[in-house]
Copies of this chain bind each other. A is one copy, B any other.
Amino acid sequence: MDRRDPATPGIQRAATRPHYLKGIMNKQELRWNGWGRHDAPDTLGDKAEGIWKWLGAYTGLGTLPNTPALPLEQVSLPPIRLTDNQLGDLRAITSEERVKTDTYERAYHARGRSYHDMLYLRAGRLEHAPDAVIYPQSTEEVEALVTYADQNALAVIPYGGGSSVVGGVTPLLRPGQQGAITVDMALMDKVLEIDMMTMTAHIQAGIYGPALEKHLQENGVTLGHYPQSFEYSTLGGWIAARGAGHQSNRYGKAEDWLVSARIVTPRGVWDTEHFPKSAAGPQMRDLTPGSEGAFGIITDAWVHLHAVPEKKEYRAYFFSDFESGLKGVRSLLQAEVRTAMVRLSDANETFFYSVMHGGAEVAENGPMGFCLMLVGFEGGADEVARERTRAHTILADCGGADMGGGMGELWLSTRFETPYLRDPMLDHGLGVDTMETATDWKRLPQLHANVSAAMEDALSKYNPNPGSPGIAMAHVSHSYRNGASLYFTVVFPRKRDADIEQWLAIKKAVTDAIVLNGGTISHHHGTGTDHLPWLSQEKGPLGLSMLQSVKTTLDPKATMNPGKLVELP
């Protein structure tokens, strides 16, 4: 594989850095207020200086300021609300060393990993830090913890990788609750069984992506679930948030690859149905994906497997405009071409990432106007060759220009580096957030246009230098026969005296526009607290009542993850 594709000058492949395969998860090795490991690579390398200069100019900020996060030493955490007796009880259930109350653990688990969370964490605003972080080692311990909390008016916050970007792990309390314990599932990380006869595996929920795939692939199989958070998210979190990996076209979303789950609720252990298919009434299992810890703690699950693909091929196409690219995606899906991934960036995003990968000099001639599509194929070598040929014909018919394999391979090998860009951006006075939705093909172009406009309008309105642009961009991230997911990214100068209000205004403008244009409030991020204000509109009054009745059945005291998915009572 040629690492520098001559067809794509200016885009060079970064050295592969499989740091996410080092094996974790000692939280001390990870940033409590940022993404990933303390020793994470500098993604921008020697392009950094030029890029910061360009971003300063492009966002209207000029020279970017230095806006570091508050170090932990300068942060004061709220007092622990649990009594010594209670802490003793929790230690009796688990062990002395698996009930953590130190500052680092409490700070680390105070919030998820959204831009919104980062504003709180970096400012040292940890008023919602859990009172204790507990690491159970068995389903029995989880049961005992949930029962204890339920009987003692403590909130339980189920915690996988904590990579939620919708406020899914913030310890909130319902009225009357005395404190919050975060149950970190990291020690329940075993692959219990791989069954080649049924191509399924039984796996504990606390396993992180890299360990999961390492174990499976050593046995010739894969789950194929690679969300952007892959390095620092867990099986249980993927299910709870109804997540999607980059290659969901081939491997499915969590709701597709989940076979069955075990969930510890305040009312007892719930083992979902476990059949290839059933018509014995609605499958209550279907309520597990997206349950967000509000029903209970997922301790283990059976999932569908695939053979490790013999071949992976990722190629790039250029389209002269977004509309013809959209036609290309839709045509691939409706012709049932077997892709692993189809990712179509709009012109803004194509330009932005060209600069980020290629350096500031790429920006000199301004936006190019065209749109990049990455198409991935995974499977047997014959199948990949065949489906690539089919795709090529269809995309050419839609005006796609084949750019070869370079950019696709580059994306594949560097894709987990992108989240690391956020911390330095925040250090430079910039804000960056992502928002996503899904809608059908008919509504998608209008939604893209209207949400982009709403985003630009909000950026301009809440900009510290009114009128300066900010950057709004989007890509189609996951696609279906009847529609697709649109993933929006926004980069903007932070209003440093009111950055949370600025974010709330942008979030509201974007989500309102999404709902108004027929999109779901989330395709794969989940609901958490951040999307909750829009949930009733999406579910309708009866849908919401049904959801609440299920919540009340499993968790009558609202012990489980209060304020997520269902409003605080």
Which A positions have Cβ atoms within 8 angstroms of B?
Answer: 195, 197-200, 241-244, 253, 255, 259, 265, 267-273, 275-284, 286-292, 304, 330, 334, 386, 438-442, 478, 480-485, 519-527, 531, 535, 538-543, 545-547, 549-550, 552-554, 565
Contacts and interface: CB of A to CB of B under 8 A. Distances in A.
A275 B546 contact: no
A539 B197 CA distance: 25
A565 B277 contact: no
Contacts of A330: 197
B483 A276 contact: yes
B276 A287 contact: no
A307 to B, nearest CB: 8
A276 B436 CA distance: 13
A517 to B, nearest CB: 12
Given A542-B268, A550-B550, A197 B288 contact: no
Name the residue among A200, A282, A545 with the largest chain B CB count within 10 angstroms: A282
A284 B543 contact: yes
Contacts of A304: 481-482
Contacts of A334: 199
A539 B281 contact: yes
Contacts of A441: 197-198
Given A442-B195, A442-B198, A545-B553, A527 B286 contact: no
A180 to B, nearest CB: 21
Contacts of A546: 284, 287, 550, 553-554
Given A278-B522, A280-B526, A549-B550, 15 more contacts: A198-B442, A242-B281, A243-B279, A244-B279, A253-B279, A271-B540, A273-B538, A273-B539, A276-B440, A277-B520, A277-B523, A278-B438, A278-B520, A286-B287, A542-B554
Contacts of A273: 520, 538-539, 543
A555 to B, nearest CB: 11
Given A198-B441, A199-B334, A441-B198, A279 B543 contact: no
Of all A-B residue pairs in the complex, the 9 with the closest CB atoms, nearest first, are A276-B483, A242-B279, A286-B286, A278-B520, A282-B287, A198-B482, A276-B480, A549-B549, A270-B542
Name the residue among A267, A292, A334 with the largest chain B CB count within 10 angstroms: A334
Given A442-B195, A549-B550, A540 B270 contact: yes
